[in-house]
């Protein structure tokens, strides 16, 4: 089966309220809050596409975009 690979973290800055849930519970510590207290993806290489940030986000501000890995 083709593996899903991260394309990008699409974070809606207008909707994000900076609660930090995604940052705290990310198992790979990919996300962080910037100077404006908005979630941003830092170490995207570490992302395992578990989508927990997308599912837990109370502001529906995160969308994980994936692409199929081609080898």
Partner 1 sequence: MAVKDFLRERFFPHLWCPGCGHGTVLNGLVRAIEELGIRKSDIVMVSGIGCSSRISGYLDFHTLHTIHGRALAFATGVKMSRPKLNLIVPMGDGDALAIGGNHFIHACRRNIDITAIVMNNRIYGMTGGQYSPLSGYGAAATTAPYSNIDHTFDVVELSKAAGATFVARTTSYHPKEITKYIKKAIQHKGFSVVEIMSQCPTYFGRKNKIGGAVEMLEYMKDQTTPIDSKAKAENPDLIERGIFVEKELPEYCEEYEKVIERAKGGA
Report DSSP state, residue 37: S
The C-alpha atoms of residue 53 and residue 6 are separated, in whole angstroms, by 14
53 closest CA partner among 33, 19, 26, 27: 26
20 touches 64 (CB < 8 A)? no
Q: Which residues bind partner 1 (CB under 8 A)?
A: 14-15, 17-21, 24-25, 52, 55-61, 63
The nearer residue to partner 1, 19 or 42, going by C-beta atoms, is 19
CB of 53 to partner 1, least distance (A): 10
The nearer residue to partner 1, 18 or 70, going by C-beta atoms, is 18
The nearer residue to partner 1, 3 or 15, going by C-beta atoms, is 15
């Amino acid at each position: 089966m083709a593996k899903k690979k991260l394309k990008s973290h699409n974070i809606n800055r207008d909707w994000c309220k900076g609660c930090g849930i995604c940052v705290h519970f990310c198992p790979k510590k990919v996300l962080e809050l910037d100077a404006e207290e908005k979630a941003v993806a830092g170490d995207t290489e570490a992302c395992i596409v578990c989508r927990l940030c997308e599912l837990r986000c109370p502001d529906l501000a995160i969308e994980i975009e994936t692409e199929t890995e081609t080898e």
